Amino acid sequence: MAVAKSQSQEGGPTPGAPRLHVAIVMDGNGRWAKRRGLPRTLGHPRGVEAIRRTVEAAPTLGVGWLTLYAFSTENWGRPPGEVSEVMRLLKAYVNSDLDNLVREGVRVRILGRREGLAPDIAEIVERAEARTAHNDGFHLQVAFNYGARADIVQAARQLMEAAREGRLDPEALDDKAFEARLSTGGLPPPDLVIRTSGEQRLSNFLLWESAYAEFVFQDVLWPDYGLEHLKAAIAEFTKRERRYGGTVADDVLAAG
Ligand code: IPE
Ligand code: IPE
Ligand code: MG
């Protein structure tokens, strides 16, 4: 893997273009396994292989920040055997890939609630962040035990406590001050949100941050995902016209 060096394969990013933040709802592991007559849990290890392919491909396609939705606050409601398999895979992924990520200049950040994680999982999360804290070649965020509503509520709670203790004037609260308290604080907002598997919903992912993101829904199950799918999603993104509530250059000219 050569993520820190990034650039430039055929069809890759234009040199000097701003790097994108791409966020992905990695969906379809269970269906991938079921279609093969396998227990749905067996889709998750194949999903980890798709994560490896995608982390390797992203920097070559002009992506500077990649945020992957790996486990939601609602996913605790799944059968215990499936939950423990996902936990085991997170540990195995960090144990096997962290040295390589450190070497390649990848900064790893875990988004989501730390409370309630088993001690061995909390340790893995802290180790992945601490060992990559000084990297900035490529930014990999893993949303784990993440729910956007819970994240917004914890931000509100921090701000209310600051106000109660006189450290914050409620009148001074604005978008910037609020989003700094989200677990994505300091990251650029996602430019492109992708969901695989054909479902077209956010499922409690980046509700605040994706206010002006472009959405691409791809009819591929996550374990089959790789460079070509990401390239196609980015190609679709580059055709979109982002307006942020304003007008486009042609309208300005037409309006004189
Ligand atoms: C996404 O795949 C992985 C996690 C949510 C952990 P799913 O497990 O949701 O796969 P489907 O949607 O049931 O096919
Ligand atoms: C969203 O997928 C969560 C992750 C990909 C981690 P789900 O499979 O849990 O979402 P729903 O239940 O289809 O909305
Ligand atoms: Mg799903």
Element (DSSP H or E) covering residue 108 = strand 106-111
pLDDT at residue 84 is higher than 60: yes
Q: What is the pLDDT of residue 13?
A: 75
The 10 Å Cβ neighbour count of residue 247 is: 11
Integer Cα distance of 250 and 256 in angstroms: 10
Nearest Cα neighbor of 1 from 58, 56, 62, 64 is: 56
Integer Cα distance of 168 and 84 in angstroms: 41
Average the pLDDT over 16-29 and give the result: 95
* Ligand 2 site, CB within 6 A: 25-27, 69-72, 75, 199, 201, 203
Q: Which CATH number is 20-255's, of 3.40.640.10, 3.10.450.50, 3.40.1180.10, 3.90.1150.10? A: 3.40.1180.10
Q: Do 167 and 191 touch, CB atoms closer than 8 A?
A: no
pTM of the model: 0.94
Residue 42 burial class via C-beta count within 10 angstroms: exposed 0-12, middle 13-18, buried 19 and up: middle
* pLDDT band at 8; cut points 50, 70, 90: very low
Average the pLDDT over 111-130 and give the result: 96
CA distances 112 to 45, 103, 182, 205, 208, Å, are: 22, 25, 9, 11, 14
Nearest CA to ligand 2 atom 11: 203
Q: Which atom of ligand 2 is nearest to the CA of 75?
A: 9
Q: Which atom of ligand 1 is nearest to the CA of 47?
A: 3
Q: Is 95 a catalytic residue?
A: no
Q: What is the pLDDT of residue 15?
A: 78
Q: What is the pLDDT of residue 10?
A: 55
pLDDT at residue 2 is higher than 80: no
pLDDT at residue 204 is higher than 70: yes
* pLDDT band at 7; cut points 50, 70, 90: very low
* Ligand 1 site, CB within 6 A: 26-31, 71, 75, 86, 197, 222
Q: In whole angstroms, what separates CA 148 from the centre of its chain?
A: 12
What are 101-113's pLDDT values in tens digits?
999 999 999 999 9
How far, in Å, is the centroid of ligand 1 from the Cα of 32?
9
What are 42-57's pLDDT values in tens digits?
999 999 999 999 999 9
pLDDT at residue 239 is higher than 70: yes
Q: What is the pLDDT of residue 18?
A: 85
The residue ranking higher by pLDDT, 152 or 253, is 152
**Residue ranges per structural domain of the chain:** 20-255
What are 133-180's pLDDT values in tens digits?
999 999 999 999 999 999 999 999 999 999 999 999 999 999 999 999
pLDDT at residue 236 is higher than 80: yes
Smallest-distance ligand from the CA of 86: 1
